[in-house]
Amino acid sequence: MRSRTVLCIRKIGPSEEETLDTTNCLTHRPIEKEPCNNQSCPPQWIALDWSECTPKCGPGFKHRIVLCKSSDLLKTFPAAQCQDESKPPVRIRCSLGRCPPPRWVTGDWGQCSAQCGLGQQMRTVQCLSYTGQASSECPETLRPPSMQQCESKCDSTPISNTEECKDVNKVAYCPLVLKFKFCSRAYFRQMCCKTCQGH
């Protein structure tokens, strides 16, 4: 809009005039305001709010949406209709602090390799980052063991009269079991029953 001042005046001399109340002027009063610049303003960039910083730690980025809008903000235009050199950034760097270091993560122990007596059991040991990705930055000195010794309980049920007491193991190592005094162990006593009898 543009405006102007409209007064009701009366000449009282060649170069003198006085201002009167508007009711004293009987002719049609000229307008004081009128519209101007009727053409639309060019589209402009409108930036929405920034997103949160991702990832949650370490160096990351914030993002936002930038739209090319009409001056009254009612219409959205293709980006090509706004000036590219004046477009606000849609991404900025950010950081929410240092990430936790990678750490060793262990799985559950597996079954004991021996059904009776001493054996071994295994588990998975992985170096993982805080996001769960494989890493090679865990200190090797702190790596948990992936294997340990285990012992399964042997069946200590006495052999009945109907069962023959014999050396079950076909490998001829029962004499060695006797020699190294392993007959006291339940597993060897069961596997080398005949050899270990009376010892």
Give the pLDDT confidence of 129-141 residue by residue, as tens digits.
988 899 999 999 9
> Pick from 150, 148, 146: which is nearest to 116 by CA?
150
Q: What is the pLDDT of residue 147?
A: 93
Note the CATH number of domain 44-96.
2.20.100
Indicate the domain borders of the chain. Answer: 2-34, 44-96, 103-152, 166-198
Residue whose token pair is 């009776």: 116
Q: What is the pLDDT of residue 31?
A: 95
Q: How distant is the alpha carbon of residue 138 from its chain centre? A: 20
Q: What is the pLDDT of residue 159?
A: 46
Q: What is the pLDDT of residue 37?
A: 82
Q: Which residues of the chain have pLDDT under 50?
A: 158-162
Give the pLDDT confidence of 59-99 residue by residue, as tens digits.
899 999 999 999 889 999 999 999 999 999 999 999 888 88
| Exposed / middle / buried, residue 58 (Cβ in 10 Å: 0-12, 13-18, 19+) | middle
